Amino acid sequence: MNKLLTILGTKRLFDCRSITTRIAADGKDVSKNKQYENRITLIGSDNSVSITDLKNAQNLSTRRDLKLVKIQDADSKTRRPVYKLMTNAQYHDEELSRRKEKKAASDSNTLKGQKLMTISSKIADHDILTGCKKMGKLLEKQYEVKVVISGDESEHAKLERIYTIIEKNLKTVGKVVQLRTKGNNMRFQIVPIKDKTDQSKVEATSGQNNNNDNNKGPL
């Protein structure tokens, strides 16, 4: 009888044994996928690709005296973050490349806004030069300057003269665009010169115009 009870007890012990599951603090089962949440795609300093976990990659970078750099949050196909092991030289080159890209992106969108300057045809030459200094400072701060020169119908020559003074005094820091005359007003924008290439183009155009004027014979 005792043997029978022992056999039955042993059988119950095996019958009650269940598959081991991981349980979180809140009592819920931890998904098996959780163990893969730290898996990453690792690119070695020799551009070899492997799949590992973040902790192992960190240990590897310490042992080999390399820098572990995250280069992509999540790959579109694998949905794993991408890290790369870099030497100091590679890391330095990567930083320079990122700075250049950041600067290029910044240069393509440098305008901080637009400022309006309204000038009367009756303005004195001294006040025109004072206005040019103000516009020059705005251009250096990467503002676009919109200029409106107003006058009477009979004062078109004065408008042209004021425009010429402004264009001449600001050609090293700004470029005139969209020049147009509407009614009694002359309107144009001056945009900052982004680099030396733009400035060279302006100076070349200005020099060409001066040569053309010099080549003109007497009327």
Does 37 have pLDDT greater than 60? no
Query: pLDDT grade, residue 147 (50/70/90)?
Result: very high
What mean pLDDT do residues 31-52 have? Answer: 76
Q: What is the DSSP letter of 17?
A: -
Q: In this predicted model, what pLDDT tens digit does every residue of 111-123 receive, in sequence order?
A: 788 999 999 999 9
Q: In this predicted model, what pLDDT tens digit does every residue of 169-219 receive, in sequence order?
A: 999 999 999 898 877 889 999 999 875 454 555 455 545 555 555 554 443
b/e burial code for range 115-133 (CB count within 10 A of at least 16 → b):
bebebebebeeeebeebbe
Structural domain boundaries of the chain?
A: 38-96, 113-195
Which residue spans within 87-192 are E strands per DSSP?
113-120, 143-150, 174-182, 185-192
Pick 113-195's CATH classification: 3.30.110.10, 3.10.310.10, 3.40.50.970, 3.40.109.10.
Answer: 3.30.110.10
Q: Which of residues 103 and 143 earns the better pLDDT score?
A: 143
Residue 60: partners with Cβ closer than 8 Å, 6 or more residues away: 42, 52, 66, 68, 85
CATH fold group of domain 38-96: Ubiquitin-like (UB roll) (3.10.20)
- Tokens linked to 102: 């950041």
